[in-house]
A = this chain, B = another copy of it.
Amino acid sequence: VSGFVSLVGAGPGDPELLTLRALRRLREADLVLNDALVQTELLELAPKAQRFFVGKRAGRHSIDQDGIHRLMIRAAERGQRVVRLKCGDPFVFGRGGEEALALEAAGIAYEVVPGVSSAIAAPALAGIPVTHRGIASGFAVVSGHAETVFAPILDGIAPGAMTIVVLMGVTTRGAIAARLIARGWCTNTPAALVYGASHPGSLTWIGNLGSLGEASFDSELPAVLVIGEVVALSEQIVFGRLDMSELIAAHP
């Protein structure tokens, strides 16, 4: 068996939202390198594999990006089947592109296994379609981890032109809202924070751009921020929900 690396998207968290190919790769894996947000249940799908945590812990990387590349390359050179397991999709803010380039440069056989992105799935599971006829004909997906990164992109989008989805934007949500309002977006544009979509204990905050900065939870679950008129549809798309307790409603 020659070594091989699969850059695999794990989806938003629920093991049922893994793809069939991702499951197959996990089952055959000799080594799994996983990020912080990957659920323990997913790792149990790789019973033969040695597992190595390469994500952030308490805000610090357990290993740097070059270290991850070296681990993958060395294991593949030893003939191992390596799964690099990432939340969501590997090419959506997952540094999957950098890993692909490193594998390519080292002459390692590899592939990408696309996953269900939280950028689309988290809003969907909260009753928010990112596109909707007559309301939004497009959406933008942006990283919220540093103002230097999101500011030029947010400035580049005309107010109300499309739905905006921000990943890794919980701590910067106030700055994001301020930037959009300064750019001309209405303060009453609906906004949602979807925590832990597809995980047990998921919850959704719904408000607007004006109130987004003050939104706060004691949730440690990853959150997806959604901004735009489609957010208001979550009032109607409730999946026949009887128990509304998980919906903290402050509808705009």
Name A residues whose Cβ lies closer than 8 Å to a Cβ of B: 9, 11-12, 14-21, 23-24, 89-93, 95-98, 100-101, 104, 107-117, 120-121, 123-125, 127-133, 137-143, 149-150, 152-153, 155-158, 161-162, 230, 233, 236-240
Contacts and interface: CB of A to CB of B under 8 A. Distances in A.
Copies in the complex: 2
B161 A101 contact: no
A114 B116 contact: yes
A202 to B, nearest CB: 13
A18 B16 contact: no
Chain B CB within 10 Å, residue with most, of A21, A107, A120, A127:
A120
Nearest to A95: B133
Contacts of A115: 116
A152 to B, nearest CB: 7
Contact of A11 (B19, B143, B158): B19
A188 to B, nearest CB: 19
Given A111-B239, A157-B158, 8 more contacts: A16-B24, A92-B130, A100-B237, A108-B240, A114-B116, A116-B116, A138-B150, A139-B140
A71 to B, nearest CB: 19
Contacts of A114: 12, 17, 116, 120-121, 124-125
Contact of A129 (B96, B108, B111, B123): B96
A161 B157 contact: yes
Contact of A110 (B90, B91, B120, B240): B240
